[in-house]
């Protein structure tokens, strides 16, 4: 594959290079992070960085006190930047755009915080937020932070059962929701889902606050009139406007740096969701540092993270990160294709003069599939765009190369997890613009000590695949524990390799120190005793000019243990006989991976099953192919895709 990526801009940041910054972060973490903490406004500045008295449970800035919402809003207003745009709400579905200055956003957050306080919400109380991509979502999140309350945002599309599980685990005092969400071809009613969740949950919140949007069948009045569990309404229902009546703006409440800011649930292997806990102090310091040193975003720059506030990416880089940095963030209610076409992203870049765009590989693959030659890019002025950052799943080299070619800007893959809250590996564009390598999220970010371990916990040689682990302690901003369950936190992440956090991902490090993340450890298959990465095979399939996206899974085989099977989605307009495609792909895998892979099965499918955040549901596909019991995951974007795949994935009789 030719390296047609563009040359990075020549005005790369001056100052200490990556190697020097990284070395200091690992040799003197105390001094490094105390210095980074100076970029945050404290009510009581910390004198210590790390508290390791309860290791392996670590705490950052144990004697510091601050307020995250003050740092995100008030301090910029007080510095004379109140009229700077903080947030641009852009609903491609409704055709609505609205700009919020820092002063306006601060005032709306303060008033809603006052409304929450009037309902009894205070420091340490939980508030569950079930909202789509509308301004009320960041307002509610920041209002909780202003009071020292703990928000738990649930993606606006989870089924009632999943919502109920999160209600029971976090035990919120209030639920904040809306009448519904809008998508290109449908409207999603939220109130029935909340009502059902409240009937299923054992915990009763005191009230549900509903932001009312026009065009939905269910409303607050109807919810008030319907019976709840055991025939009796257990909670009070009130509209957003009713909650605001008579509310006085609330001042920021200083909290301990170690106090929780939010709980965000991620799927657990046992089925019960795991509540990742993010603290106030470490989170504010890490995100503020990352905005400058990873993304090279400064005050007044426009950063658009095309994700959802229900995911960790939305927490970190739609809401908190850009606002902590004094930048402008874009809240986009739309899709990469279909609102109205595959040029939707480039239209927003042009209209909002976006400097940094952050999205997921699946969005790029969807755009590439619909517009393989990038014709829609050329219809828009994307000259403001300096860098495209990508994360969320593995970025295949073909998509990386395509995006760089059609946009003419560096495409920076970077890798992180819900648990870490910010990048583990990245090309640190605010420190030094290192060479980019296809298939790699570049190098460990300062603060993270990445090692590749064999199953016994011993380091492996450069280039050799193994378990990716992070040496403890993790840097600030990462999870401090799981909500109400320190033991599960330790068992889930810290016991596989003592002294390390187990990422659950596999990969290797090359001779230059670049990390390659090949997939989850359960995506390593065993073919006749040979451990092979399905991610490496996917990389080969994705390079075929007719393939838009693909997945490789390990299917049970009575003779060889497992055998790989590939599922490919074709690009729009691709014209190739399926048998010819199969022959070409099998031959290429044999050439690049080897005959040992025993790769013979390739199927062309209309779509791959994905979560709403864009991850392919490989585990569910494996269960179907192996004839095991499987259920429709609550996180799935479109369950009809599984129905269509059922025959293809059905095991042989």
pLDDT value at residue 447: 98
The yes-or-no verdict on residue 596 having pLDDT over 80 is: no
CB 153 within 8 A of CB 141: yes
79-105 mean pLDDT = 97
Report the range of poorest mean pLDDT among 38-47, 376-385, 422-431, 609-618. 609-618
Cβ density class 628-646: b for 16+ within 10 Å, e for less? eebeebbbbbeeebbeebe
| Three-class DSSP category at 651 | coil
Q: What sign for the dihedral angle of Cα 273, 274, 276, 277?
A: positive
Kindly report, residue by residue over 516-558, the tens digit of the pLDDT: 998 776 666 767 556 577 877 888 899 999 999 999 988 888 7
The DSSP letter of residue 502 is E
Q: At what angle do helices 102-118 and 136-147 cross, to 10 degrees?
A: 60
Helices (H), 186-237: 191-200, 220-225
187-192 mean pLDDT = 94
The yes-or-no verdict on residue 272 having pLDDT over 80 is: no
Distances (CA, A) of 442 to 310, 399, 409, 427, 437: 27, 16, 17, 5, 7
CB 134 within 8 A of CB 94: no
CB 168 within 8 A of CB 325: no
CA–CA gap between residue 2 and residue 638 (Å, rounded): 36
The yes-or-no verdict on residue 313 having pLDDT over 60 is: yes
pLDDT value at residue 186: 87
| Three-class DSSP category at 129 | strand
CA–CA gap between residue 603 and residue 650 (Å, rounded): 12
CB 449 within 8 A of CB 455: no
- Three-class DSSP labels, 329-390: EEEEECCCCCCCCCCHHHHHHHHHCCCEEEECHHHHHHHHHHCCCCCCHHHCCCCCCCEEEE
Start-to-end CA distance of the chain, whole Å, equals 40
The DSSP letter of residue 248 is P
Report the range of poorest mean pLDDT among 1-10, 503-512, 590-599. 1-10
CB 501 within 8 A of CB 474: yes
Residue 344 structure tokens: 């939707």
CA–CA gap between residue 533 and residue 348 (Å, rounded): 37
pLDDT value at residue 618: 85
Query: For the purposes of burial, counting CB atoms within 10 Å of the CB of 168, is it exposed (0-12), middle (13-18) or buried (19 or more)?
Result: middle
Q: What is the DSSP code string of 426-443?
A: E--TTT--PPP-TT---E
| Three-class DSSP category at 71 | helix
CB 310 within 8 A of CB 166: no
Strand partners, 101: 85
pLDDT value at residue 172: 98
Mean pLDDT of the chain: 91
The yes-or-no verdict on residue 115 having pLDDT over 80 is: yes
Q: At what angle do helices 29-36 and 281-293 cross, to 10 degrees?
A: 80
At CB < 8 A and 24+ separation, what contacts does 489-498 make? Answer: 489/57, 490/56, 490/57, 492/268, 492/269, 492/274, 493/419, 494/56, 496/457, 496/467, 496/469, 497/453, 497/457, 497/467, 497/469, 498/457
Strand partners, 189: 180
CA–CA gap between residue 651 and residue 226 (Å, rounded): 46
Kindly report, residue by residue over 486-516, the tens digit of the pLDDT: 999 999 999 999 999 999 999 999 999 999 9
* 500-509, strands of its sheet edge to edge: 450-453, 466-471, 500-509, 515-520
> Which domains, from first to last, does the chain contain?
18-69+259-518 (3.40.50.12780), 102-256 (3.40.50.980), 528-649 (3.30.300.30)
pLDDT value at residue 530: 60
Give the model's confidence band at 644: pLDDT under 50 very low, under 70 low, under 90 confident, else very high: confident
User: What is the pTM for the complete model shown?
Assistant: 0.84
CB 151 within 8 A of CB 143: no
Maximal CA-CA distance, the chain: 73
118-138 mean pLDDT = 97
CA–CA gap between residue 520 and residue 571 (Å, rounded): 26
The yes-or-no verdict on residue 444 having pLDDT over 90 is: yes
Radius of gyration of the chain (CA): 24
Q: At what angle do helices 29-36 and 18-27 cross, to 10 degrees?
A: 110
Kindly report, residue by residue over 372-411, the tens digit of the pLDDT: 999 999 999 999 999 999 998 888 889 999 999 999 999 9
Rounded to 5°, angle at Cα 23 from 296 and 454: 105
CA–CA gap between residue 143 and residue 19 (Å, rounded): 39
- Closest CA relative to residue 210, chosen from 236, 179, 245: 179
pLDDT value at residue 457: 94
Residue 258 structure tokens: 């170690």
The yes-or-no verdict on residue 482 having pLDDT over 70 is: yes
pLDDT value at residue 14: 57
pLDDT value at residue 233: 63
The yes-or-no verdict on residue 84 having pLDDT over 70 is: yes
- Closest CA relative to residue 532, chosen from 510, 554, 516, 549: 554
Residue 248 structure tokens: 């006085």
pLDDT value at residue 522: 63
CA–CA gap between residue 552 and residue 427 (Å, rounded): 28
CB 155 within 8 A of CB 266: no
The yes-or-no verdict on residue 192 having pLDDT over 90 is: yes
Report the range of poorest mean pLDDT among 149-158, 310-319, 594-603. 594-603
Query: For the purposes of burial, counting CB atoms within 10 Å of the CB of 103, is it exposed (0-12), middle (13-18) or buried (19 or more)?
Result: middle
The yes-or-no verdict on residue 218 having pLDDT over 70 is: yes
CB 275 within 8 A of CB 265: yes
Pairing mode of beta strands 96-101, 274-279: unpaired
> Rounded to the nearest 5°, which phi and psi values hold at 287?
-70, -40
| Three-class DSSP category at 94 | coil
Report the range of poorest mean pLDDT among 1-5, 121-125, 396-400. 1-5
CA–CA gap between residue 571 and residue 85 (Å, rounded): 39
The yes-or-no verdict on residue 144 having pLDDT over 50 is: yes
């Amino acid at each position: 594959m030719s390296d047609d990526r563009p040359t990075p801009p020549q005005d790369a940041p001056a100052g200490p290079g990556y190697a020097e910054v990284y070395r200091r972060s690992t040799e003197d973490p105390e001094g490094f992070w105390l210095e980074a903490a100076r970029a945050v406004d404290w009510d009581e500045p910390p004198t210590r960085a790390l508290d390791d008295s309860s290791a392996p449970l670590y705490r950052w800035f144990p004697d510091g006190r601050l307020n995250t919402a003050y740092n995100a809003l008030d301090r910029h207003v007080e510095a004379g930047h109140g009229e700077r745009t903080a947030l641009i709400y852009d609903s491609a579905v409704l055709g609505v755009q609205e700009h919020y200055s820092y002063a306006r956003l601060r005032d709306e957050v303060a008033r809603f915080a006052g409304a929450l306080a009037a309902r009894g919400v205070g420091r340490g109380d939980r508030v569950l937020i079930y909202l789509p991509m509308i301004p009320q979502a960041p307002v509610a999140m920041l209002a909780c932070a202003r009071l020292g309350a703990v928000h738990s945002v649930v993606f606006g599309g989870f089924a009632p059962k999943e919502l109920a599980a999160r209600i029971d685990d976090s035990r919120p005092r209030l639920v904040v929701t809306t009448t519904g969400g809008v998508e290109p071809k449908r409207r999603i009613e939220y109130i029935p889902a909340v009502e059902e969740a409240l009937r299923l949950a054992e915990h009763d919140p005191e009230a549900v606050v509903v932001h009312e949007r026009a065009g939905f069948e269910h409303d607050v009045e109807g919810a008030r009139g319907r019976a709840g569990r055991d025939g009796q309404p257990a909670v009070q229902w009130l509209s957003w406007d009713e909650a605001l009546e008579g509310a006085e703006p609330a001042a920021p409440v200083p909290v301990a740096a170690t106090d929780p800011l939010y709980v965000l649930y991620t799927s657990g292997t046992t089925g019960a969701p795991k509540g990742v806990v993010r603290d106030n102090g470490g989170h504010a310091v890490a995100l503020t540092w990352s905005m400058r040193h990873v993304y090279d975003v400064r005050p007044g720059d426009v950063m658009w993270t095309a994700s959802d506030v229900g995911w960790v990416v939305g927490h970190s880089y739609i809401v908190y990160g850009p606002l902590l940095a004094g930048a402008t963030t874009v809240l986009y209610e739309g899709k990469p294709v279909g609102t109205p076409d595959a040029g939707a992203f480039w239209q927003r870049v042009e209209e909002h003069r976006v400097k940094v765009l952050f999205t997921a590989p699946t969005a790029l693959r969807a755009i590439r599939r619909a517009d393989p030659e990038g014709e829609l890019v050329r219809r828009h002025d994307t000259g403001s765009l300096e860098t495209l950052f990508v994360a969320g799943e593995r970025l295949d080299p073909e998509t990386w190369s395509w995006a760089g070619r059609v946009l003419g800007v560096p495409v920076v893959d970077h890798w992180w997890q819900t648990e870490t809250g910010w990048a583990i590996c990245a090309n640190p564009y605010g420190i030094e613009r290192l060479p980019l390598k296809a298939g790699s999220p570049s190098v460990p970010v300062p603060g993270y000590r990445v090692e590749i371990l064999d199953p016994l916990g011993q380091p492996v040689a450069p280039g050799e695949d193994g378990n990716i682990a992070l040496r403890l302690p993790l840097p600030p901003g990462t999870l401090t524990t799981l909500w109400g369950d320190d033991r599960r936190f330790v068992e889930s992440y810290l016991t596989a390799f003592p002294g390390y956090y187990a990422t659950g991902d596999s990969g290797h490090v090359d001779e230059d120190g670049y990390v390659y993340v090949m997939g989850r450890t359960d995506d390593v298959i065993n073919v006749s005793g040979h451990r092979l990465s399905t991610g490496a095979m996917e990389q080969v399939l994705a390079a075929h000019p007719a393939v838009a996206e693909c997945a490789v899974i390990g299917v049970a085989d009575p003779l060889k243990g497992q055998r790989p099977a590939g599922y490919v989605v074709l690009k729009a307009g691709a014209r190739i006989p399926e048998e010819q495609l199969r022959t070409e792909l099998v031959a290429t895998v044999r050439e690049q991976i080897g005959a040992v892979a025993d790769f013979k099965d390739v199927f062309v499918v209309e779509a791959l099953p994905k979560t709403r955040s864009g991850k392919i549901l490989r585990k569910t596909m494996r269960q179907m192919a192996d004839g095991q019991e499987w259920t429709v995951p609550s996180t799935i974007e479109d369950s009809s895709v599984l129905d269509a795949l059922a025959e293809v994935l059905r095991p042989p009789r």
